[in-house]
Amino acid sequence: MKQTTALLDSQKEAIEKLGRLKVGALFMEPGTGKTLTAIKLVESTNCKQAVFLVPFQTRENLKAELVKWDFKTKYFVYGIESLSNSDRLYLEILNKLKEEPDTFLIVDESLKIKNIRAKRSKRILEFAPLAKYRLILNGTPISKNLLDIWSQMQFLSPKILGMSYTQFKDIFCEYVEYRYRRYDGSTSGWQSFVRKHVNVDYLYSLIDPYVFDAKLELNAHKLYIDVPFRVEENYSRYEDLKVKFLQSFTGDPDSFLKFTQMMQRSYCSEPSKLAALEQILDDDTIIFVKFLQSRDTILEKYPHAKVYTYGKGSFGLNLQRYSKLVFFDKTFDYAQKDQAEHRIFRYGQKKDVTYYDFTGNVNLEKTIDKNIYNKITLLDLFKKLANEGDEKWENII
């Protein structure tokens, strides 16, 4: 049955601004109704078909939305992650675009094409010029630095920025390059670290005509509570991994990422965390974890708990009936945490919401908090430390 609803003012503004263009970006926070806005933008054109590239786990949600809103245009929905390893899917989409140039191509969660070296990014950029209309959707268009913007604008049109990735980096970033030895002792490689952004006003002037940015405004409020716990039972395991890392580390970023993940996992199901969770948990609570070990440990003790993982679990969920959210494990990824927060803080939320951030008594936990605040990823941290000297490594873990 067709469902009708009055559009929010922000949705009307987005349609008014982008409806006059053939390309555009909906940088709307989760919960602000960007899916319905995208549907209305497609319906405002005379396109013959719509192709949606969305996170794999949200495909069925989108199909249900299209049915709910009585979407009449012929459409196809694909999981964006599958483009990395499925040649069949790549050729299928390519042929659909070649056969029907009057296509509206929509990429949801467009941060998934930020890595210009990834196969799926290259393939989606190849699709772009074959579609008459192009739209990207994302609540967090920048997860770590302005370099995330280049591929998203390139998808819409190379004319928006009018520059290569290298030129973009040189104009808008101050960065340093350094060399490192690989973990296996083979030839060293080159990495770069963005120290700061420059000419930001100029960048905004280039992209502003094609971007609509909506902020979520609710009567509900947010409360953040830090929940401390002590790493005791697994502390010696954590320290052993730390010593092993410091003794064997060669400057390889893969080794750095591997060991920090192992160290965080070593205490993810610490008994004191479960004891703290028990004081919070009720029917109004959802829990986000980073590790499957954490999820399994929680569900073993509390079988009816609502537990989701970052990344997969933070996309496509409308959980505004809950008002308490627990970050049981910390994540280095700002975009993942932001997505998780907006699973309960979105239109339809009637109550104030509370976020519980679990924090252990080890340096790695403090480092993650600091990096989330500065929107720095784990790999960015490695690059930064590589330029500051070996004595810095022990201080962060």
Of 65-69, 116-120, 253-257, 301-305, the range with the lowest mean pLDDT is: 253-257
Highest mean pLDDT among 126-130, 215-219, 365-369: 126-130
Helix H or strand E encompassing 128: none
Question: Which distant-in-sequence residues (6+ apart) come within 8 Å of 214 by Cβ?
Answer: 10, 11, 13, 14, 26, 27, 28, 29, 32, 34
66 or 317, higher pLDDT: 66
**What local confidence, expressed as pLDDT, does residue 333 receive?**
83
**What local confidence, expressed as pLDDT, does residue 121 receive?**
94
Average pLDDT over residues 149-166: 95
Single pTM value for the model: 0.64
**What local confidence, expressed as pLDDT, does residue 348 receive?**
74
How many whole angstroms separate alpha carbon 195 and alpha carbon 145? 10
**What residues pair up with 212 in beta bridges, in sequence order?**
26
Sign of CA dihedral 32, 38, 41, 43: negative
Of 53-62, 103-112, 177-186, 359-368, the range with the lowest mean pLDDT is: 177-186
203 or 382, higher pLDDT: 203
Instruction: Identify the burial level of 279 via C-beta atoms within 10 angstroms of its C-beta, where 0-12 means exposed, 13-18 middle and 19 or more buried.
Output: exposed
**Closest C-alpha to 50, from 108, 129, 104:** 104
Q: Model confidence at 201, in pLDDT bands (50, 70, 90)?
A: confident
The CATH class for the domain spanning 222-396 reads alpha beta
Of 4-18, 127-141, 191-205, 383-397, the range with the lowest mean pLDDT is: 383-397
Q: Contact at 8 Å (CB) between 169 and 59?
A: no
Highest mean pLDDT among 224-228, 308-312, 341-345: 224-228
Query: Does the pLDDT value for residue 143 go beyond 80?
Result: no
What would the DSSP string read from start to end of 242-262? HHHHHHH--S-HHHHHHHHHH
Q: What is the mean pLDDT of the chain?
A: 86
Percentage of residues of the chain with pLDDT beyond 90:
55
Q: Which ranges of the chain does DSSP label H, i.e. alpha helix? A: 9-18, 34-43, 59-68, 87-99, 119-127, 147-156, 158-161, 165-172, 200-207, 235-248, 253-266, 271-278, 292-301, 334-341, 363-373, 378-386, 392-396
Do the first three CATH levels of 9-214 and 222-396 match, i.e. the same topology? yes
Q: Contact at 8 Å (CB) between 306 and 285?
A: yes
CA 383, 294, 270: angle at the middle one, nearest 5? 90
SS3 107: strand
Average pLDDT over residues 272-296: 95
How many whole angstroms separate alpha carbon 263 and alpha carbon 241? 6
Placement of tokens 């299209």 in the chain: 66
What would the DSSP string read from start to end of 287-301? EEES-HHHHHHHHHH
Residues 75-105 pLDDT 10s: 999 999 999 999 999 999 999 999 999 999 9
Q: Model confidence at 186, in pLDDT bands (50, 70, 90)?
A: low
Highest mean pLDDT among 28-42, 183-197, 230-244, 316-330: 230-244
What is the domain partition of the chain in residue ranges? 9-214, 222-396
User: Which CATH number does 9-214 carry?
Assistant: 3.40.50.10810
**What local confidence, expressed as pLDDT, does residue 296 receive?**
96
Helix axes 292-301, 271-278, angle to 10 degrees: 50
**What local confidence, expressed as pLDDT, does residue 1 receive?**
45
Average pLDDT over residues 268-282: 95
How many whole angstroms separate alpha carbon 259 and alpha carbon 262? 5
**What local confidence, expressed as pLDDT, does residue 62 receive?**
92
Structure tokens at 373: 């605040």
216 or 37, higher pLDDT: 37
Q: What is the CA radius of gyration of the chain?
A: 22
Q: Contact at 8 Å (CB) between 124 and 113?
A: yes
